[in-house]
Chain A
Amino acid sequence: MNIPILSSLIFLPTIGAIFIFFSRSKNEKYNSSKYVALFITIANFFLSIYLWLIFDQSTSDFQFVETREWIPGFINYKVGVDGISILFIILTTFITPICVVSVNKTIKSRLKDFLISILLLETLMIGVFCSLDLVIFYLFFEGGLIPMFLIIGIWGGERRVYSAFKFFLFTLLGSVLMLVAIISIYWLTGTTDVEKLYEIGIDAKYQNLLWLAFFSSFAVKTPMWPVHTWLPDAHVEAPTAGSVILAAILLKMAGYGFIRFSIGLFPLGSEYFVPLVFILSLIAIIYTSLVALMQEDMKKLIAYSSVAHMGFVTLGIFTLTQQGLEGSIFQMVSHGLVSAALFLCVGVVYERMHTRLIKDYGGLVSIMPKYAIVFMIFALGSLSLPGTSGFIGEFLILMGAFKKNFLVATVASVGVILGAAYILWLYKRVIFGKIKNQEVTKMLDLNKYEILILWSLAVPIIFFGFYPEPLINTMEVSINNLIDMYNSNLSNNIVMSK
């Protein structure tokens, strides 16, 4: 089969964006371009599902690899997927059409430009998860800054300029060091091809420094404490669709980067810095959960909860156990769905009331019963109740953590309790209680679009909560291989140093 399926996945949204760019509709509502975008993103989703169906789960090799000469003798355009990246690709293609549908009311002006940005962003995000060359990865990883900067800056809230700048400069600052590391790797090994680098390995004495350089980029993007401060600002000011993409996918690029590059390329560096990651993750889990408790703004609360959940993810990744890694990936997918849904839920009431403050709401259950039900599902997903996908992820992560370090796991478990506290308290204050604000009584319940969007997120959350097999099976072999590679690297090095 010679169809370049990955390249089609990557560049189909770009083609859509170009099409929308050149289609001049005089119509102020720009309806047609919305349908084009929807069509393209849904087509891309089905394409990725097809990819999943023909994906061979029994091997850990990269599949559907495409290699083209890009800069001769130096960098190849190389893409491919394994059991880890394919899940993120499906997550991306699943979330993007939801964003496109959700722009229905939220984006008042310049819808066409917004759709172009979203489509370009989809190209870049899929590119990040597919690329098997460090330079290509960097291009996609950094390129995402431009559309996201515009999404926050043009369509955002009041402090959008500040947030957009903060988002852009923080992330750029983190990733320039990664660029230095990538170039250094090229001069050390003569290649930037990830597969080859897995085979060759990187000289032990440089691994710690290179690990730190990559870490600086991924830690900002994850975001880990103490460089997480851009995230609440960006989330609060971004339009709903922007928040959804940011929480559901952009944050996952860093988690993916940790697994693919930090662990894969620098096993010794990873081993050396495990305590650092543990400490930062624990601080993120406990501290940001406490901060989330104190928030008055709903979006900010969910943003801080994202930081806490990503703390679990980094913790799970660096337990470097089968369970921890599987849990982390599961948690990332699950958090992608849950946080996207929570931001959409906030968007729903924000459209009606134009306020995000918790104290302006209360007693929604009698006014908007349908809304109360879906919000409940997502809140429970967020606190990882058994039966939701969040539970599987956090449970596996904690299992991995107990294997590695009892104390760390115990502290992290406290975070689970705090996580339940802030989300349930939010739910209580918004949905239950007496109606204090008379405006609330005028609110309408979910319309059919919103029902469609929210339930399409709720179904997989419950489905994977009861039946995690499809995800676990897909990633299992690749993770096994990663762990084997990691352990053999470590033992080799111990032998060599003796």
Chain B
Amino acid sequence: MNIDLNLILPEIFLSLSIMSLLMIGVFKKNSSNLIFNLSILTLFILAALILNLSSVNKILIFNNSYVIDDVANFMKILTAISAIFVLSISTDFLKSLKIYQIEYPILILCSILGMMVMISSNDLIVFYIGLELQSLALYVLAAFNRDNVLSSESGLKYFVLSALSSGLLLYGCSLIYGFTGSTNFNEIANNTNQVPYGLTFGIVFILVGLAFKISAVPFHMWAPDVYQGSPTSVTLFFALVPKIAATCVFIRFLYVPFVNMIEQWQMIIIFISIASMIFGAVAAIGQKNLKRLIAYSSIGHMGYSLAGIATGSSEGAQSTIIYITIYVIMNLALFCCLFMLKRNNEYFENIEDLSGLSKNHPILSLSLLIILFSLAGIPPLAGFFAKFYIFMAVIEQSMFFLAIIGLLSTVVAAFYYLRIIKIIYFDPSKEKYDSNHSLGLRISLIVSTIFLVFYFTYPNSLLGIISKINII
């Protein structure tokens, strides 16, 4: 067995960095700043290392249990880059909550390692190891502000429910193993020419577990509470990074081991997708807390991204990847704005706090306007193109029902985004917020907003990269 270790150099590098950072952090006093900066540097190097692998076509290593291909590389780079943004914009927030500790970046790195394993897994066991690694880190992160009751509650809630879903997932995996005789994705695919009921149950259990991870309806109950309770910087991480990995795993499961069983899973995915789109749109209407609202809106967005996968075509999977990329950028920008709602070291997260923002903070409100219209999917902003590609793929497969429901629910969803815009622009103004934000926060907001506005001038920038990705 000769394995070229270069291929998993990024993972090796990340593990070693985590260990050494932990050592530095433990033995050097007051090293939070250093660890934060080193973590960001680590992620940069990680992204560069993955980019270096992108010339590699599809390669299977470790007895075909680990796969390096275009999808994996793209998703890993996206994960690393969004984690860089997450770390660099949340420092101010962590400082003011007095939880600016060395464990924070290290836990994030741990969960990223888990995600990388998930993304590259080609075997049920490897997949499960990655999943648990990222989940364990996330449990701790959710409860990171341990003196805060809400944060502890959300950590516990997330732990209990996530453990339940992991249990279901594991049960599904064992059923699959029992009926196909293998844990390897490719071999599972070869052994699914006939579909006994047990196998269908296995798929259902696995899909339930995965749907839980991306908070799709009807397994979304944890999301609003956890999003609201966790510190905002952790919410930001929750809203972006695990979704990337989970979407990738969704694509990999449905397109590799279960590719022959599309009749079994297609209806399930369509149902989850439609339910998420409608529920996300309707339930967000009554929300008063911005973080809760973001939770519901992300439920809706996950519905759209699943619609792409539900087609079962490689265009569909590509459109999902585009969707998740633009979704990450939009939410990143939205959270930047959330971090800017600060007055005397106190952060505001109710929608009412945005009242009349445009009088005192014209630039911030303009960014919010663009971000919210983009989330609502109004052309010519990037959010429209994300939905456009999804519906291109959906209609190509003549799934008109899904397309029409999806587009109608964007109209409902537009309502609650408009409501925020109304509060920002039409309502009377309140006290001014602080305007001394850190450079990283400002740059992140400006870069992501400019991307959202000017994406339409050169849509090929993203499409060109992703359309080259070979899904299967």
Contacts and interface: CB of A to CB of B under 8 A. Distances in A.
Nearest to A75: B459
Contact of A150 (B378, B380, B396, B425): B425
A432 interface: no
A177 to B, nearest CB: 7
A456 to B, nearest CB: 32
A180 B459 contact: no
B283 interface: no
B395 interface: yes
Contact of A183 (B380, B384, B391, B456): B391
Interface in A150-191: 150, 153-154, 160-161, 164-165, 168-169, 172-173, 176-177, 179-180, 183-184, 186-187
A138 B388 CA distance: 11
A440 to B, nearest CB: 32
Interface residues of A, number: 29
A149 to B, nearest CB: 7
Interface string A319-338: 00000000000000000000
Interface stretch (A139-147, A274-282, A363-371): A139-147
Given A139-B380, A143-B378, A168-B414, A153 B426 contact: yes
Interface string A4-47: 00000000000000000000000000000000000000000000
* Max chain B C-beta neighbours (<10 A), residue from A70, A150, A179, A184: A179
A142 B456 CA distance: 14
Contact of A165 (B415, B425, B463): B415
A470 interface: no
A161 B418 CA distance: 10
Interface string B410-433: 110011001001100110000000
A72 interface: yes
Contact of A142 (B379, B421, B422): B379
A72 B460 contact: yes
B400 interface: yes
A71 B466 CA distance: 13
B285 interface: no
A172 B422 contact: no
Contacts of B464: 72
Given A71-B463, A150-B425, A160-B426, A173 B411 contact: yes
Contact of B426 (A161, A176, A180): A161
A48 to B, nearest CB: 23
Contact of A168 (B396, B400, B404, B418): B418
Contacts of B408: 173, 176
Instruction: Determine chain A's interface SS by DSSP, over half rule.
Output: helix
B415 A138 contact: no
A183 B384 CA distance: 14
Contacts, number: 76
A163 to B, nearest CB: 11
A169 B410 contact: no
B307 interface: no
Nearest to A213: B404
Contact of B395 (A143, A161, A165, A184): A184
A180 B395 contact: yes
Interface in B287-345: none
A208 to B, nearest CB: 14
A176 B405 CA distance: 10
B373 interface: yes
A391 B187 CA distance: 77
A176 B407 contact: yes
B403 A180 contact: yes
Given A172-B414, A186-B392, A177 B407 contact: yes
Contacts of B456: 139
Contact of B422 (A165, A177, A180, A183): A165
B164 to A, nearest CB: 37
A154 B429 CA distance: 13
A164 B422 contact: yes
B79 to A, nearest CB: 26
Contacts of A176: 407-408, 410-411
Nearest to A165: B418
A140 to B, nearest CB: 8
A172 B411 contact: yes
A71 B455 CA distance: 12
Given A177-B407, A183-B395, A169 B378 contact: no
Interface string B349-382: 0000000000000000000000001000011100
Given A176-B411, A184-B400, 7 more contacts: A71-B460, A71-B463, A145-B378, A153-B421, A153-B425, A161-B426, A183-B392
Interface of B: 373, 378-380, 384, 388, 391-392, 395-396, 400, 403-404, 407-408, 410-411, 414-415, 418, 421-422, 425-426, 456, 459-460, 463-464
9 contacts: A145-B378, A150-B425, A172-B414, A176-B408, A176-B411, A177-B404, A177-B407, A180-B407, A183-B391
Shortest beta-carbon contacts, A-B, top 5: A176-B407, A139-B379, A183-B395, A142-B379, A173-B411
